[in-house]
Structure 1
Amino acid sequence: MTEETETPAVDVTGIRDAVSVRLPAVSAYLSVLRTATAGLAARLDFTLDQIEDLRIAVDEACAMLLRHAVPGTDLQAEFELTGHEMTVRVEVSTVGVSAPKRDDFAWMVLTALADDVDAISDHPDHMAIVLRKRRGAARPA
């Protein structure tokens, strides 16, 4: 006689996933990051428009960072998926720069495409941008 145990139901909104991607800090590798972004956003059932917005936002954030990246170093991307939200942190090593310009066109693009955008300055010679996108959150008109 086998004993059956009941498996508890999984609350999909309580799932937390974290994915790290490390790439050479060269624009030729950004297509890998765009593909990872789209795949992870699809996992959260983002709409096609939201997926494309997030892909463009991550690409733009990386382009901002790569302008200041030390040649021969890596770009690190951290994706955290929690319920209906994805947080993406991209970062590079720099020389003498720790924050992107918040008054240029690229920053305006980021703030238009993501629900939240922030620049993190953990220490000198390091630059990070954090983006958050929530499923179902409408962009401001």
Structure 2
Amino acid sequence: MTPTTSQPASDDVVHLTVPADGGYLSVLRTATAGLAARLQFALDEIEDLRIAVDEACAMLLSIATQPAELECRFSVTEDALAVEVTVPTPRGARLPAESSFAWKVLTALTTSAAATTDSDRATISLLTRRVAG
């Protein structure tokens, strides 16, 4: 299952690539907060999304090849922020089970969360819609 959202305008997609190292996650958390603020998310929603992006990145960093780059794609629409985080992985690498605590965090803090893996990459996709009102 891949999170879906309305199609973003081409200028409302932000790509960031950082080294696959925990020391660079603050860059992604800051970008997440800035883009969520642009959508006028409430402060609690912004913090939830920052935590979710941090958790998704931590999950991916634990299985990433080294050295590697963490690629993050933010898509902004009128009422939602979609985030896709991808890393290269060794063949056979697996993300935590959907019943794990990490996945419970992601699903509690976002509208939807999904993961895909293939022979050499893993991606976690998050979607958060702004609460109306």
Same fold (TM over 0.5): yes
| Unmatched tracts of structure 2, length 5 or more | 1-5
How far does residue 90 in structure 1 lie from its aligned partner after superposition? 0.3
Are 1:105 and 2:101 counterparts? yes
Are 1:79 and 2:74 counterparts? yes
What residue number does 1:90 align with?
85
Runs of 4+ in 1 over 4 A off after TM superposition: none
Matches within 5 A, 1:1-141: 16=9, 17-95=12-90, 96-97=92-93, 99-121=95-117, 123-136=118-131
Aligned-pair Cα RMSD in Å = 1.7
| Unmatched tracts of structure 1, length 5 or more | 1-12
Aligned residues: 124
Residue identity over aligned pairs, in percent, reads: 52
What residue number does 1:9 align with?
none
Normalised to the residue count of structure 1, the TM-score between the two structures is: 0.83
14 and 45 in structure 1: CA distance in 2 versus 1, 3 angstrom threshold: farther
Larger Rg: 1
How far does residue 14 in structure 1 lie from its aligned partner after superposition? 8.6
14 and 23 in structure 1: CA distance in 2 versus 1, 3 angstrom threshold: closer
Q: How many Å separate the matches in 2 of 1:132 and 1:15? A: 13
How far does residue 100 in structure 1 lie from its aligned partner after superposition? 4.0
How far does residue 15 in structure 1 lie from its aligned partner after superposition? 6.3
Query: Is the Cα–Cα contact under 8 Å of residues 111 and 127 in structure 2 kept in the other structure?
Result: yes
SS at match of 2:97: coil
Amino acid at match of 1:42: A
Q: How many Å separate the matches in 1 of 2:74 and 2:27? A: 14
Q: How many Å separate the matches in 1 of 2:97 and 2:7? A: 35
Q: How many Å separate the matches in 1 of 2:37 and 2:7? A: 17
88 and 55 in structure 1: CA distance in 2 versus 1, 3 angstrom threshold: same
Query: Is the Cα–Cα contact under 8 Å of residues 79 and 130 in structure 2 kept in the other structure?
Result: yes
